Structure 1
Amino acid sequence: MKYVLFTLLLLTLGSSTNTLWAQNRLNAEDTKYVSAVEDTLGLLAYAFVNDSLEENRFLAVRAFIPTLVKALKKPGSFSYPFDQLNSVSIQYPADSTFRIFTWQLYVDKDTYRYFGAIQMNSDELKLFPLVDRSFEMEEELDAAALSADRWYGTVYYNLHTVAYGDQTYHLLFGYDGYEFFRKRKVVDVLRFVDGKPVFGAPVFVKQESDGSFTQKNRLLLEYSAAASVRCNYDPALDLLMFDHLTMIGGEYGEGPVQIPDGTYEAYRLNNGKWEYVEKVFDQILDEAPRPSPVLNGRSGKDLIGNGGR
């Protein structure tokens, strides 16, 4: 029943799709209204992340969704940034053709649920609710193409747009709390097909040891909750970079888990595809790096500047 309620809540977001009209900017009266609504949204968002009682967290997210819809119904709402919603991620592509809201509900130590919506930047307001069904997905996640109502839910922390020829898609970098001992980071692909969002595309290419090539629709890194894992687009290197993970035995009865080993893997864009790079930094030093000598080349001094004894 809890899963059914989650879905019904997200359908509230979809009730306003294709029926409303938006101007470029909110007028003064509507700006005042949305600002007041944002105060309420901020309190609810804080509660569904931080309240110690599961019931209160769920009540907060249940109230949050229709309240957000009320704000988005105002003409020109796309221009309002919702800066107070620190518990909600809002990501935009460079051309601001849409924005994507995502947030997390902590249910219990091994259960997280995700909510989201895509708001298009158009005269006629279009709002696509994102319905998290990750808990029932059994197919290979790196090969599945998913719709908005069957979404692998995460909180997106970055968005990178790729334009190649007449094709455009967006890399979405997300965090999944997953379970107590293991966390996940996901790089998904967002496209719009016939005006509707589709998640996943075979743009990640890797050459195997036998010379064959494999393609993935998304990347997924699963790692120990005790570790910190990097996974993001690096504009300086023009690479999609992530930690290389190695398996170790868990220390708390959780079984084998993966942690970073200090090296990095990557994907490099080539003709619209991301080609696998096994190792980003492959320099080999003659000796381990170390800081400059404390004595700075001076002899006869100890660490606090006294004469050596």
Structure 2
Amino acid sequence: MVKNIFLLLLLVISGSCLQAQRLNPAGYAQLQQQQDSLQYLSQQTFGGKDEDTRQKACDRLIPALVHALKTPYSFYFPFDSLKTVSTQYPKDSTFRIFTWALEKDNGFYRHYGAIQMNTKDGQLKLFPLFDNSDYAANVDTVGDNKAWFGCLYYNISQQHFFNQEYYTLFGWDANNLRSQKKIMEMLRFKNGRPIFGGPFFSFAEDSVPKRTQNRFIIEYKKDASATLNYNAEMDMVVYDHLISQTDEPGKKYTYVPDMDYEGFKWKAGKWVHVNKVFNDALPQGKVPVQQPLDQRKKNIMHPQTEEDMEAEKKAKQEQQKAARKKG
């Protein structure tokens, strides 16, 4: 009897603690009101009539967002009405990242953002992100939130290795009038602080190995569309192979996809480059043919890797051997 009462008390206390670690109705209502103001400012930052209007809206958006986030347990408020502000969460929900972009009149973009940690006591722990990409001659860097390679994040993939969590960030940079970029980089936390970049992109298994990179970036033509993202079904990163449309490899703004695909596999704490992912793509570096490919032969939902193709080939050979023996 005493044991049952003790267990019941434990359940009540645990339930109370869980309830306390959530946004209360008053806080939720307050954040809803603040979100209306944030929505207006974010829209002006994105689509204001000129750079001055956009910059002023952005300058007001930053403190307004920080003020809203100071509400206890604000981490549990989604801010889903802020359509021009990207909010991304990792699988373990230990933090979230806000990012947004401001277009300059010259066609270049500056990015803003912040990492909000999911704290146990609901108090705000925030790391503002300072876009350093326009001032860094070397993009293959490792830095903290004060030396951030600015972009708009659209996905986070979480990896685990040797009792540490690693977060792969996928971002888009509208860049300038001629080209755009997609960025893949690692985020980890050291002594509770964010570290962006690191030697996690290996090309050691390529036929001609290259040095390990701290960050992976593809740049391509402004009006082209290129993929760089984590494919959960394949458990790997897949991206478009790019070639120069004008046979000028030194000019990234001429690059377009050639219907071939490359990727990265997570192995022993690194993203290891895979030179060819799909079996039905064009040979690397070849310009797409004028006649469209037979789409009936393409199965994007269940693409094959080179390993899958080799296994399928061996299975067919075994079947042929068995058939010959029977004959």
- Residues 255 and 166 of structure 1: is their aligned pair in 2 closer, same or farther, counting only changes over 3 Å? closer
| 1:116–1:291 CA distance, 2 compared to 1 (3 A) | closer
For 1:180 and 1:129, locate their aligned partners in 2 and report how far apart those are by CA, in whole Å.
27
Say if 1:221 and 1:24 are closer, same or farther in 2 by CA, change over 3 A.
Answer: same
Q: SS at the partner of 1:61?
A: helix
Matched residue, 2:41: 44
User: Which residue number corresponds to residue 158 of structure 2?
Assistant: 161
Instruction: Report which of the two has the higher share of helix.
Output: 2
Instruction: Tell me the equivalent position of 1:300.
Output: none
Amino acid at match of 1:84: S
What is the CA–CA distance in structure 2 between the aligned matches of 1:188 and 1:212, rounded to whole Å? 20
Question: Could you report, residue by residue, the CA deviation over 1:270-309 in whole angstroms, capped at 9, with x for unpaired residues?
Answer: 1121111111113489x985478xxxxxxxxxxxxxxxxx
The separation in 2 between residues aligned to 1:65 and 1:284, in whole angstroms, is 45
- The Cα shift of 1:165 comes to 2.2
The partner residue of 2:275 within 273, 278, 282 is 278
Gaps of 5+ in 1: 1-22, 293-309
* In 1, Cα distance between equivalents of 2:52 and 2:70: 28
Per the TM alignment, residue 162 of structure 1 is displaced from its structure 2 partner at its CA by 0.5
Residue identity opposite 2:127 in structure 1:
F
**TM-score of the two chains, using structure 1 as the length reference:** 0.80
| Structure 1 residues 24 and 261: CA distance shift in structure 2, 3 A | same
Alignment pair present for 1:76 and 2:70: no
**Alpha-carbon distance change, 29 to 215 in structure 1, aligned in 2, over 3 angstroms:** same
Letter in 1 for 2:178: F
CA distance in 2, matches of 1:106, 1:214: 34
Counterpart AA for 2:90: P
Matched, 1:121 2:121: no
Give the 3 Å change call, closer, same or farther, for CA 65–183 of structure 1 in structure 2.
same
Give 1:225 shift. Answer: 0.4
Q: Report the counterpart of residue 131 of structure 2 in structure 1.
A: 132
- Is 1:268–2:269 an aligned residue pair? no
Q: How does 1:221-240 map to 2 (within 5 A)?
A: 221-240=218-237
Query: CA contact under 8 A between 2:220 and 2:253: conserved in structure 1?
Result: no
User: 1:66 Cα deviation (Å)?
Assistant: 0.9
Q: Compute the displacement of 1:164 (Å).
A: 1.4
Which residue of 155, 163, 169 maps to 1:172? Answer: 169
Task: Quote the offset at 1:215 in angstroms.
Answer: 0.8
1:177–1:255 distance in 2 versus 1, CA, 3 Å: closer
In the aligned structure 1, how far is the partner of 2:90 from the partner of 2:118? 11
Partner residue in 2 for 1:248: 245
Give the corresponding residue for 1:258. Answer: 255
Partner of residue 194, structure 1 = 191
Q: CA deviation at 1:116?
A: 0.4
Asked if structure 1 preserves the Cα contact closer than 8 Å seen for 2:170 and 2:182, the reply is yes
Q: 1:250 to 1:86 in 2, by over 3 A?
A: farther
The separation in 2 between residues aligned to 1:291 and 1:220, in whole angstroms, is: 29
Shift of 1:222: 0.5
Total equivalences in the alignment: 265
TM-aligned CA distance change 1:209 to 1:99, over 3 Å? closer
Q: Which runs of 4+ in 1 moved over 3 A?
A: 208-213, 287-292
Shift of the 32–203 alpha-carbon distance from structure 1 to 2, 3 Å rule, reads: same
Distance 2:252 2:295 in 1: 37
CA-atom RMSD in angstroms: 2.3
Query: Structure 2: which 5+ runs fail to align?
Result: 1-19, 283-290, 297-327
CA contact under 8 A between 1:148 and 1:197: conserved in structure 2? Answer: yes
Percent identical pairs in the alignment equals 39
Give the Cα–Cα distance (whole angstroms) in 2 for the partners of residues 54 and 211 of structure 1.
Answer: 46
Mapping of 1:83-162 within 5 angstroms?
Answer: 83-122=80-119, 123=121, 124-139=123-138, 141-142=139-140, 144-162=141-159
CA-CA distance at 1:213 after TM superposition: 5.1
